[in-house]
Chain A
Amino acid sequence: MLRDTLKKLLSVYGPSGNEHAVAETVKSLIAAHVDNMRVDAMGNLIVEKYGADENGKRILFSAHMDHIGFIVTDIDENGFLRVHNVGGVSPRISSARHVVFENGTEGVLYCQPLKGEEMAMKHLFIDIGAESRQEAEQYVLPGDMAVYAPDYFELGDHRMASPAMDDRCCCALLCELMMYLDEPKNTVIGVFSSQEEVGIRGAKTAAYSVNPDMGVGLDVTAWGDTPEVKLPAIQLGKGAAVKFMDRSMIATPAVRDALLQAAADAGVPVQREVLPFGGQDGSAIQHTRSGVPAGCLSIPCRYVHSPAEVIDLRDLEGALRILLKFVENV
């Protein structure tokens, strides 16, 4: 079940560059359903399911495992940790948060008094309860990363919130896709990528080494359906979104249209997405080697990059049906 798979993935620690625990969880979920799995130097987990047709295409789907976090850059004499952001963290929504390190050390992220300045990362610190640098260093060293404490909860019948929804919901989607694929004619390669949040870095090397015929990024997108938010014209619960463009990529028309066609064939609602910002793994696929037709299927997600990223599970389930049809069609 998609919902259960998602829950298993939402509670795993995995800031950019430290995704191995997520990769292990994914492996345990899908090992029985794929033909091979490997982890590359960048920490991407690359899984493959062979197609029945010798002349079939090699289709790559990429969903990133990492999420945003905080890296410790200094520990002061009183044991407070200074941090820098890993990925696109808003300092404003980070203050007064419960955070966790890989070894389980818990902390409170808080902000020093501001003297008329705008809040920035340099004003934030983590309190792990230590009383001195020496005590703090027993638990945490510079270079260690913290994330918003793993969490999830359900909102109404269909929606769910978590700090790791971006992009574990698509990791769950990709896991389920690999599980549901039954002797596909095309070879399907799943990349659970690393370091997307710091600049689409993992997908770049994965796309190069996989060298597919076609690719689709799977990621969350922004929303336009809460008070005073209008763009993008995307609503939760109205279906997954086929991307036309964002700042990293103009979707290849053939792939974009094939995704729209797959949605129509599957009888699943779908939205069209023109995002004036942001980027995702699809761009790394499109721009690798001599160019690979690539697009992106997005899951609408409210409050992206906050401790409570909200999606509608119906959109995720619809996306699974679209992808299954897409693999069959192309």
Chain B
Amino acid sequence: MDLKTLCEINAPSGNERELRRAILEEARGLCGAENVRIDRMGNVLAFRKGREVGRPHVCVSAHMDEVGFIVLGATEEGLLQFRPVGCIDPRVIVSKRVTLGDQKLPGVIGAMAIHLQTDKDMERVLGYKDLYIDIGAKDKDDALAHCPPGAYASFDTPYTPFGEGFVCAKALDDRVGCYNMLELMRERYPGDVTFAFLTREEVGLRGSIGAGYAVQPDISINLEGTAANDLGCTESRFDVCCPGRGVAVSFMDNSSVYQRRLYQKLNRLADKGGIAHQPKRGVTGNNDAANFQRAAGGALACTLSVPCRYIHSGASVCCLSDVEAQYALTRAFLMNA
């Protein structure tokens, strides 16, 4: 499945059904239906038997879900009131397009015209309590008939290549990881590999709690799209990682201190294979590797990320060569684990 198709499917946290179906079908085709299952948290787990015995069991994971919105209710005028699902800065959502529910109903997030705002209004950050999704409904009943409380919304952004080797899309975090897992699944490896497509990362690393326990691998390699902060002449110490410079290998973040021997092995493999790589230097942020590292009796863990600018907005940007580097390094590891 190509990255465009994956990015354009809506899967806000807790409502990953459409993407789960697509991935399930693809994974069954690649690994055999008997090797693919859905666990008790809605994660898709695909197992690839190794060619040799005595090798460690590796779990490669990526999360299916994306940040989005959930409808609370509607105003008398028929404007939908909503909250974010996952962390979305309300400053990036004004004047954006969204689609709602399974029927992908179009909507827009508007704000009062600046002509009508006072100077004081202009200084204030518009919060979720000031913003509405307009679906063109006549009134409250009309709005709620189309989008009842609990309906989910996603950014409506077409997948668009631009510049030189870059792409702009919604949900690059973490469809890049899902994409590479589906590619990696085409082969068999020396050791057993479980590919885990996870739910609800964006609301607090939830799906991986169940998958970590269900899989209990020896080694976890988590594939992510992570925040880059490189443009605009930032000081290098605030970069985190840079699009175009290869896959970002994590030594630590807010949720894990990764085992050093695995971090070093991945760096050696990248050097040896001529795979572009960089350390992920920012140590904030959380990801699913934490739950694999510390499920049950524990596992070795590392996170390999594609640097993404404007993550958690409707228009994130990454460099396709980094997506390839993430694939290449993960593959090299699976061949040598």
Q: Specify whether A and B are partners.
A: yes
CB neighbors of A among B295-336 (8 A)? 295-300
Is A86 within 8 A of B294, CB to CB?
Answer: no
Complex: A143 Cα to B258 Cα, angstroms? 10
Question: Which residues in B have their C-beta under 8 angstroms from that of A141?
Answer: 279
Other-chain residue from B281, B283, B293, B296 in contact with A209 (beta carbon distance below 8 A): B296
Other-chain residue from A44, A86, A204, A205 in contact with B257 (beta carbon distance below 8 A): A86
Known: A43-B259, A73-B283. A142 touches B251 (CB 8 A): yes
Is B237 within 8 A of A73, CB to CB?
Answer: yes
User: For the complex, is A76 an interface residue (Cβ under 8 Å from B)?
Assistant: yes
Other-chain residue from B251, B259, B281, B294 in contact with A205 (beta carbon distance below 8 A): B294
Mark A40-67 against chain B: 1 for CB-CB distance below 8 A, else 0.
1111100000000000000000000000
B316 to chain A minimum Cβ distance, whole angstroms, is: 23
Other-chain residue from B252, B293, B298 in contact with A71 (beta carbon distance below 8 A): B252
B96 to chain A minimum Cβ distance, whole angstroms, is: 31
User: For the complex, is B260 an interface residue (Cβ under 8 Å from A)?
Assistant: yes
Q: Whose C-beta in chain A lies nearest to the C-beta of B236? A: A74
Is B296 within 8 A of A205, CB to CB?
Answer: yes
Q: Whose C-beta in chain B lies nearest to the C-beta of A200? A: B294
B33 to chain A minimum Cβ distance, whole angstroms, is: 32
Complex: A206 Cα to B296 Cα, angstroms? 9
The size of the chain B interface, using a CB distance under 8 A, is 23
User: For the complex, is A18 an interface residue (Cβ under 8 Å from B)?
Assistant: yes
Complex: A198 Cα to B281 Cα, angstroms? 18
A72 to chain B minimum Cβ distance, whole angstroms, is: 9
Known: A17-B252, A17-B257, A43-B259. A205 touches B298 (CB 8 A): yes
User: For the complex, is A201 an interface residue (Cβ under 8 Å from B)?
Assistant: yes
User: For the complex, is A162 an interface residue (Cβ under 8 Å from B)?
Assistant: no
Is A198 within 8 A of B257, CB to CB?
Answer: yes
Is A73 within 8 A of B282, CB to CB?
Answer: yes
Mark A70-90 against chain B: 1 for CB-CB distance below 8 A, else 0.
010110100000101010000
Is B260 within 8 A of A209, CB to CB?
Answer: no
Is A201 within 8 A of B251, CB to CB?
Answer: no
User: For the complex, is B152 an interface residue (Cβ under 8 Å from A)?
Assistant: no
CB neighbors of B among A21-57 (8 A)? 40-44
User: For the complex, is A195 an interface residue (Cβ under 8 Å from B)?
Assistant: yes
Other-chain residue from A16, A142, A204 in contact with B294 (beta carbon distance below 8 A): A204
User: For the complex, is A208 an interface residue (Cβ under 8 Å from B)?
Assistant: yes
B266 to chain A minimum Cβ distance, whole angstroms, is: 12
Is B283 within 8 A of A84, CB to CB?
Answer: yes
Is A209 within 8 A of B282, CB to CB?
Answer: no
Q: Whose C-beta in chain B lies nearest to the C-beta of A144? A: B251
Question: Which residues in B have their C-beta under 8 angstroms from that of A16?
Answer: 257
Question: Which residues in B have their C-beta under 8 angstroms from that of A198?
Answer: 257
A-B contact pairs, 25 of them (CB 8 A): A17-B252, A18-B260, A40-B297, A40-B298, A41-B298, A42-B293, A42-B294, A42-B298, A44-B298, A71-B251, A71-B252, A73-B237, A73-B281, A73-B282, A76-B237, A82-B237, A122-B237, A142-B281, A198-B257, A201-B293, A201-B294, A204-B294, A205-B298, A209-B296, A209-B298
> A residues bordering B, Cβ < 8 Å?
16-18, 40-44, 71, 73-74, 76, 82, 84, 86, 122, 141-143, 195, 198, 201, 204-206, 208-209
Q: Whose C-beta in chain B lies nearest to the C-beta of A199? A: B255
Known: A73-B283, A76-B237, A142-B279. A205 touches B252 (CB 8 A): no
Mark B109-141 against chain A: 1 for CB-CB distance below 8 A, else 0.
000000000000000000000000000000000
A205 to chain B minimum Cβ distance, whole angstroms, is: 3
Q: Whose C-beta in chain A lies nearest to the C-beta of B251? A: A143
Question: Which residues in A have their C-beta under 8 angstroms from that of B298?
Answer: 40-42, 44, 205-206, 208-209
Q: Whose C-beta in chain A lies nearest to the C-beta of B219? A: A41
Question: Which residues in B have their C-beta under 8 angstroms from that of A74?
Answer: 236-237, 239, 281
Complex: A142 Cα to B251 Cα, angstroms? 8
Question: Which residues in A have their C-beta under 8 angstroms from that of B155?
Answer: none
Other-chain residue from B237, B263, B281, B300 in contact with A41 (beta carbon distance below 8 A): B300
Q: Whose C-beta in chain B lies nearest to the C-beta of A15? A: B257
Q: Whose C-beta in chain A lies nearest to the C-beta of B290? A: A201
Complex: A204 Cα to B294 Cα, angstroms? 7
Question: Which residues in A have their C-beta under 8 angstroms from that of B294?
Answer: 42, 201, 204-205
User: For the complex, is B183 an interface residue (Cβ under 8 Å from A)?
Assistant: no
Complex: A43 Cα to B299 Cα, angstroms? 10
B291 to chain A minimum Cβ distance, whole angstroms, is: 11
B295 to chain A minimum Cβ distance, whole angstroms, is: 8
Question: Which residues in A have their C-beta under 8 angstroms from that of B299?
Answer: 41
Is A41 within 8 A of B297, CB to CB?
Answer: yes
Question: Which residues in A have their C-beta under 8 angstroms from that of B281?
Answer: 73-74, 142
Is A76 within 8 A of B236, CB to CB?
Answer: yes
Is B237 within 8 A of A71, CB to CB?
Answer: no
Complex: A82 Cα to B236 Cα, angstroms? 10
- Besides A41-B300, A86-B257, 16 more A-B contacts (Cβ < 8 Å) are A17-B257, A41-B297, A41-B299, A42-B259, A42-B293, A73-B237, A73-B281, A74-B239, A74-B281, A84-B283, A122-B237, A201-B257, A201-B293, A201-B294, A205-B294, A205-B296
Complex: A204 Cα to B257 Cα, angstroms? 14
